[in-house]
Amino acid sequence: DFLVMVFAFVITLLLGIQRGVLLSVVASVVMILRRITRPKIVFMGEVPGTEVYRNIHRVANAGEIPGLIIIRMDASFYFANISYFKDQLYKAIQHREEPVKMVIIDGSSINEVDSSAESVLRDMVDELKAEGISLNFTNLKGYITDMMKKSGFYEKLGNEHFFFSKKDAVRHFFGNDPETPMGSK
C-alpha cells in the first residue's frame, strides 16, 4: 500500500493530476487483483512437545511432520485463486523428502467456496487419491460444511476426512482416531 501511495504521489507530480490519478487507480487495481489471485498460503508444522501447529516460516521451532502437509490459504476458495492454491500444494508435495500420505487443509480462513473452486477440489480429491494421498479438512465454519453437504462434496470425500481441529486430524494421521470427527456426534 505504501508503494502505491508513493507511486501515486510521484506520478502525479511528474505527469499532472489527471494522468497521475488515472495511473494511480490502475496501480491500485493491479495490486488488488494480485492479492485476490495470489493470497497468502501458510504451511504449518508442529511446535515440539505440543499439539500446536504454526507457520513453519515464522515460528523457528515449528517443524514439518514427515508424510503430512498442513496448509492454510488466507482467503476464500474461488475461481480466481484455486489454481494458485492447487499449484502451491502440489509443489510442496513434490519437494518433500518423504512421500506425502495426508494433506490437511485448515479451513479457518475460508468464508466462501464457489462452484469453480469446488470443481477443482473434487479433481484434487481424485488426483491425490490416485497418488495415495488423503485430502482432509479441519476448522471449517458451519455454513461452509453445510454448503459442502448440499453440493455433495462432503459425501464424495467422506465424513472421515473432516475434523474439528488440526489436532484431531493429526491424531488421525498417526492412527489415534479422534472421538469427534465432523458429524459423528
How would you class 17 by CB atoms within 10 Å of its CB: exposed for 0-12, middle for 13-18, buried for 19 or more? exposed
Question: Rounded to an integer, what is the distance from CA 37 to the centroid of its chain?
Answer: 12
Per-residue pLDDT tens over the stretch 83-139: 999 999 999 999 999 999 999 999 999 999 999 999 999 999 999 999 999 999 999
The Cα–Cα gap between 54 and 142 comes to 23
Q: What are phi and psi of 43, to 5 degrees?
A: -100, 130
The Cα–Cα gap between 53 and 70 comes to 8
| pTM attached to this predicted model | 0.85
Question: What is each CA distance from 114 to 2, 39, 47, 79, 107, in whole angstroms?
Answer: 32, 16, 33, 7, 14
Q: Residue 27 is placed in which grid cell?
A: 496501480
User: What's the pLDDT band for 182 if we cut at 50, 70, 90?
Assistant: low
Q: What pLDDT sits at residue 176?
A: 78
User: What's the pLDDT band for 184 if we cut at 50, 70, 90?
Assistant: very low
Q: Is the per-residue pLDDT at 178 higher than 80? A: no
User: For residue 113, which amino acid is it?
Assistant: V
Lowest mean pLDDT among 23-32, 125-134, 175-184: 175-184
